[in-house]
Amino acid sequence: MSEALLSVDDLRVGFDTEGGRVQAVDGVSFELAPGEVLAIVGESGSGKSVTAQTIIGLTRSANASIEGSVQLAGNELIGAGEAELRQVRGERIAMVFQDPMTSFNPVYRVGDQLIEAIQAHRPHVSRSDARERAVELLGSVGLPDPEQRVDRYPHELSGGMRQRAMIAMALTLEPEVLIADEPTTALDVTIQAQILELLRQLNRERGLATILITHDFGVVAEMADRVLVMHEGRIVERGDLDDVFYATKDPYTRKLLGAVVRLDQAPPLRPGKTEGPLLEVTDLVKHFSVKRGLLFDREVDRVRAVDGVSFSVERGETLGLVGESGSGKSTLSRAVLQLLKPTSGSVRFDGREIAGLSRRQMRPLRPDMQMVFQDPYASLNPRKRIGQIVGEPLRVQNRASGAELRRQVKELLERVGLSSEHYDRYPHEFSGGQRQRVGIARALALRPKLIVADEPVSALDVSIRTQILTLLSDLQEEFGLTYVFVAHDIGVVRHVSDRIAVMHDGKIVELGPADQVCEQPADAYTKTLLAAVPVPDPRESRARRADFKA
């Protein structure tokens, strides 16, 4: 290995909490050479972010104990004074964070935040010079119209532009090391591809040594020279990119790689569904009015969130609904369930027209259509016991009470892979995957015909994801469920769906059997979407990039 720029030796980070010491990082050692891209992969809680933040001292606090050594070109950073560390932060090691929306201060203009970074280290640089430099940097990361955008507030930029600006801010002082902590996780897949390309370019052109923290093996395969796999605070596997993928030594890594849902692998064949449609949607439109007026509002514009959509779902079938943020997929699923009142169009459920029914008219139909939500943390009431949460639909629909209710709920808990002993526990006592099981049990309680699952696995770790997808498909078989599976990740959608509908700008641009949509896409947008999905396979990924260049 060439001369190390950054070397981390036996790093240990522990936090004292009410529940005792949590050893977040437990003896991590690695080196980073100039110009290298090192990926640190792991699931949530593996210690990868804590490791990265500890390098520049961001985890220092009264309840943290930090041991070991972090050396930047021979200078020890652990134990260095705050003033010394401040010289390193931004100047020599810069960081890019996951969510560019929350990582910028919302009340300052983007340019001012770049200027602040410059002036923090170069107090003698005038504001106008710093502003000029900010414009230049914003331009260099591919932000269109940097002269204009420099004076915009973060919320006035799109997600992709914000992340470009965040990267520009990291580059202001030409650091030697860039730490990118899940830099594309909050972005749409087509935007992710652009940001990854930008990072690759910076690495190539500026020789910027990069630590890339991610949970996504697709991103790793596209970006990394070397890979560390972390699990419970330790490094369980390390090596060159191809070794980690093709000569995996550690069983945990193997399990993780095996759990990755791959877009380019056809899922097992599913029997055809021929019992006739459960749900028929025709010309469904949902517009939101933008209203203005001096004293009384009148409509001045409308957002066409769903703009004339038609599809049907057969009984026992899974229809995948794919689209990026803003495509209208969530609005569509809510309009179908009459949680939002459609502007026009028809929704026939089980042979009955339900578009435009009042809340009261919908009430008897509600048990037949249930929803599973994205965020298993936010969608369970933290002050209610698991038993109450799962039993609530049964209670409000007067299906069961007392001992019978308890029995049914326990049965449901066991059916979704939890235990009946969980009845009296609270949501915070469970992991993300377990909580999503609770959400599924709640949706199942009334024995619905249709379940609309809105991004049911996107908040979960890879290894948990597969378990939940398997559970959903087992339940489908057992209860003859019909699914509308809404997600942004076309790989996951392909894995579970019979047919896929691709949404873009409020319209379905392509609808067909899952394999056909993924392998022979007809629509230009579908092609872009598919091409942007990173493949968790370094050889394939290199081939694709070579193709792209040719």
C-beta closer to another protein: residue 44 or 289? 289
Q: Where on the phi/psi map is residue 455: left (φ > 0), alpha (ψ -120 to 50), or beta?
A: left
Backbone φ and ψ for 458, nearest 5 degrees, come out as -75, -15
For the CB of residue 91, give the shortest distance to another protein in the complex, in Å. Answer: 6
C-beta closer to another protein: residue 292 or 363? 292
Per the CB < 8 A criterion, the answer to whether 143 and 166 are in contact is no
Instruction: Kindly tell me which residue out of 120, 339, 357, 471 binds another protein, with binding defined by CB under 8 A.
Output: 120
Q: Is 291 in the site for another protein (CB under 8 A)?
A: yes
C-beta closer to another protein: residue 343 or 541? 343
Binding part of the chain for another protein, among 98-106, 255-263, 267-275, 339-347 by CB under 8 A, reads 98-106
C-beta closer to another protein: residue 291 or 428? 291
The three-class DSSP label of residue 533 is: coil
Q: What is the CA radius of gyration of the chain?
A: 25
Chain positions 430 to 489 lying near another protein, rule: CB under 8 A, are none
Q: Is 103 in the site for another protein (CB under 8 A)?
A: yes
C-beta closer to another protein: residue 102 or 361? 102
Strand-pairing partners, residue 177, are 93, 209
Instruction: Kindly tell me which residue out of 21, 127, 249, 292 binds another protein, with binding defined by CB under 8 A.
Output: 292
CA distance 48 to 52: 6
Q: Is 305 in the site for another protein (CB under 8 A)?
A: no
Residues 6+ apart with CB under 8 A from 387: 406, 409, 410, 413, 422, 423, 424
For the CB of residue 383, give the shortest distance to another protein in the complex, in Å. Answer: 20
Instruction: Kindly tell me which residue out of 9, 26, 35, 86 binds another protein, with binding defined by CB under 8 A.
Output: 86
Q: Are strands 93-96 and 177-181 parallel, antiparallel or unpaired?
A: parallel
For the CB of residue 185, give the shortest distance to another protein in the complex, in Å. Answer: 13
Per the CB < 8 A criterion, the answer to whether 367 and 393 are in contact is yes
Backbone φ and ψ for 214, nearest 5 degrees, come out as -160, 160
From residue 348 to residue 367, what is the string marking binding to another protein with x (rule CB under 8 A)? --------------------
Joined tokens for residue 541: 């990924």
C-beta closer to another protein: residue 120 or 400? 120
**Number of residues in contact with another protein, rule: CB under 8 A?**
38
Instruction: Kindly tell me which residue out of 294, 403, 546, 550 binds another protein, with binding defined by CB under 8 A.
Output: 294
Which residue from 130, 128, 127, 158 is spatially nearest to 145, judged by alpha carbons? 158
Q: Is 340 in the site for another protein (CB under 8 A)?
A: no
Sheet-wide strand order for 226-231: 93-96, 177-181, 209-214, 37-41, 226-231, 234-240
Q: Is 106 in the site for another protein (CB under 8 A)?
A: yes
C-beta closer to another protein: residue 66 or 462? 66
Chain positions 37 to 76 lying near another protein, rule: CB under 8 A, are 53, 56, 58, 62
Q: Is 105 in the site for another protein (CB under 8 A)?
A: yes
Joined tokens for residue 134: 């900010």
Residues 6+ apart with CB under 8 A from 427: 377, 380, 381, 382, 384, 386, 389, 435, 438
Could you give the C-alpha distances from 140 to 169, 198, 370, in angstroms and in order? Answer: 11, 10, 48
Joined tokens for residue 102: 């929350």
Residues 101, 58, 96: CA angle, nearest 5 degrees:
35
Instruction: Kindly tell me which residue out of 32, 50, 89, 317 binds another protein, with binding defined by CB under 8 A.
Output: 89
CA distance 64 to 332: 46
Joined tokens for residue 496: 């579970």
Q: Is 31 in the site for another protein (CB under 8 A)?
A: no
Joined tokens for residue 455: 């991004």
Instruction: Kindly tell me which residue out of 9, 26, 31, 116 binds another protein, with binding defined by CB under 8 A.
Output: 116
Instruction: Kindly tell me which residue out of 155, 298, 352, 549 binds another protein, with binding defined by CB under 8 A.
Output: 155
For the CB of residue 141, give the shortest distance to another protein in the complex, in Å. Answer: 16
Binding part of the chain for another protein, among 273-281, 293-301, 377-385, 423-431 by CB under 8 A, reads 293-301
Q: Where on the phi/psi map is residue 233: left (φ > 0), alpha (ψ -120 to 50), or beta?
A: left
Instruction: Kindly tell me which residue out of 44, 65, 75, 87 binds another protein, with binding defined by CB under 8 A.
Output: 87
C-beta closer to another protein: residue 175 or 233? 175
Binding part of the chain for another protein, among 24-32, 97-105, 365-373, 457-465 by CB under 8 A, reads 97-105
CA distance 201 to 142: 11
Chain positions 269 to 288 lying near another protein, rule: CB under 8 A, are 288
For the CB of residue 211, give the shortest distance to another protein in the complex, in Å. Answer: 13
Instruction: Kindly tell me which residue out of 34, 139, 153, 200 binds another protein, with binding defined by CB under 8 A.
Output: 153
C-beta closer to another protein: residue 82 or 424? 82
Instruction: Kindly tell me which residue out of 95, 177, 459, 460 binds another protein, with binding defined by CB under 8 A.
Output: 95
CA distance 146 to 144: 6
Q: Is 94 in the site for another protein (CB under 8 A)?
A: yes
Chain positions 160 to 179 lying near another protein, rule: CB under 8 A, are 166, 169
Per the CB < 8 A criterion, the answer to whether 386 and 422 are in contact is yes
Per the CB < 8 A criterion, the answer to whether 506 and 284 are in contact is no
HEC per residue, 341-386: CCCEEEEEECCEECCCCCHHHHHHHHHHEEEECCCCCCCCCCCCCH
Instruction: Kindly tell me which residue out of 293, 351, 364, 402 binds another protein, with binding defined by CB under 8 A.
Output: 293
What does the binding site for another protein look like in residue numbers (CB under 8 A)?
A: 53, 56, 58, 62, 82, 86-91, 94-95, 97, 99, 102-107, 116-117, 120-121, 153, 155, 166, 169, 288-295, 297
